[in-house]
Amino acid sequence: MSPEGGMLLFGATRDDLDQARSALADGTKRLTVQRALPQKSYFYFRDSGTVADEIVKESRGSLRASGEKLFFEAALDPADDGYHLSVFTNAARGFSENQEKPASTGTRQAAPSADKPWLAAASVLSNMANAVSGADGQKATPLTKDERLLMGSGTPWFSLVGRTMLQKSTLQAIRDAVAAGDEDMRDIVQALDVAKSYGIDDDAIVSILKSVGMVLGGFTSVGGNPLQGGYIHVSGEKKEIDLLAPIIEKATTASGFPFQSVAEPGWTVLYTLNEPVGCVVGIKDNTAVLGLLNPDAPRSVPTLASRMANLYEKEDLLMFLNLDGKEFRKMVIGLLDPDGIWGAMVAGEMGSDMPALVEGLKCLAELDALEIRATSMDRLDLSLYTMNPDQQELDKLTTIGQKWAASQGN
């Protein structure tokens, strides 16, 4: 380690430091880095082949290297509106599932997932990467507007929508992992078996699960008391999505709750529930949805915060996530208010913790939004947007904290 001007040089040997000084003095001696990201501050790693060989070795024949040298780049830059982190790596394309099964040795080989569960996940990931890169002959396409279902009133505080890149080989890799001893994925295999009993085989599942999404916001009610709601949705080929209709009908009937079948334009089937909790389940065009929302949600469209609205309009995304700080704090404040409906319900068990929770929420006062975007399996962008704290919001939190402290005798 040695200082050099305004820098501090690190090296394993003195020769490393001498070479670094020489490169600083002569630009032709510097390492040329083929960067993929625009930020100025970055970390770059390029594998000589050692890491890839070790991963293949540890997989015990389940994975094989593609021959492409692994590299990883992470870059971060502060900006006036927050912080922007990007990650670029070819790791998802660096491996593929080994189609040549290892020769039998007469003894049962331990599965790679038995002691290293991440290897099973790597096998699944490599199958998904094939879909994105087009290695399977069908390159993944960005999310369409139809796959970004919006319903319900109010303003959502969280949204996540993504392309699944699911293939039949992915499902088979999961089954193989479970057969080899991976208990973590056993529930998935059981769910696949249940689906098959309803006539939904692996081909249908792949066609149904083209994309998945979750939106938190809007309104539902529990026992007549208003509460923030949310819903999940899956989009795929309409023919296969419609296979879910009889399952939805059977599930709502067997639930014992008074679901109502509703005829609504654009909906293949729609069932709503008002009591004991607001609920909506059905199929709209090529999307199946299940939500804790009031029955009028299918006829409503939410108002989106500006950053979330931008994501719903972008046409090149395979996945996006947005957490709106203002709406999130508004939702939590409503739950923490001791004078509110839900405050009385948590006063008993959690009352003593409420002052600390309120102070913790103040720490998020500068959060405008958290956003994650992916346009490929190679690149992921994360943005943390900041804002000036809202003094009225802080004053409200202070008042709530004081009320909780007083209720606990503090």
Q: What pLDDT score was predicted for residue 68?
A: 79
* Residues with Cβ within 8 Å of residue 113, at least 6 apart in sequence: 119, 120, 177, 180, 181, 182, 184, 185
Model pLDDT for residues 35-72, shown as the tens digit of each residue: 899 999 999 998 888 888 887 777 666 677 777 788 99
Round to whole Å and give the CA distance between 258 and 18: 79
Q: What pLDDT score was predicted for residue 125?
A: 56
Model pLDDT for residues 243-279, shown as the tens digit of each residue: 999 999 999 999 999 999 999 999 999 999 999 999 9
**CB-CB contact of 359 with 402 (8 Å):** no
Domain boundaries, the chain: 1-32, 145-164+210-303, 319-410
Q: Which residue has the tokens 């919006």?
A: 150
Q: What angle do CA 26, 30, 36 make, to 5 degrees?
A: 140
Q: What is the pTM of this model?
A: 0.84
**CB-CB contact of 209 with 166 (8 Å):** yes
Round to whole Å and give the CA distance between 166 and 204: 11
Q: For residues 34 and 280, which has the higher predicted lDDT (pLDDT)?
A: 280
Distances, alpha carbon 154 to alpha carbons 135, 150, 219, 301, in Å = 42, 11, 7, 8
Closest CA to 382 of 397, 367, 372: 372
**CB-CB contact of 320 with 314 (8 Å):** yes
Which residue type does 23 have? A
Provide the 3-class DSSP secondary structure of residue 261.
Answer: strand
In percent, the amount of the chain with pLDDT more than 90 equals 54
Cα 136 off chain centre by: 24
On the question of pLDDT at 73 being above 90, the answer is yes
29 burial level (CB within 10 Å; 0-12, 13-18, 19+): exposed
Round to whole Å and give the CA distance between 142 and 325: 26
Distances, alpha carbon 161 to alpha carbons 203, 217, 234, 308, 396, in Å = 22, 15, 9, 11, 33
Q: What pLDDT score was predicted for residue 299?
A: 94
Alpha helices (runs of H) in 228-282, residue ranges in sequence order: 238-241, 245-254
Radius of gyration of the chain (CA): 26
Q: For residues 327 and 178, which has the higher predicted lDDT (pLDDT)?
A: 327
Round to whole Å and give the CA distance between 314 and 321: 13
Query: In this structure, what token pair is assigned to residue 375?
Result: 């346009």
Provide the 3-class DSSP secondary structure of residue 15.
Answer: helix
Query: In this structure, what token pair is assigned to residue 397?
Result: 């939190």
Model pLDDT for residues 76-126, shown as the tens digit of each residue: 999 999 999 999 998 877 766 555 544 444 433 444 444 455 555 555 555
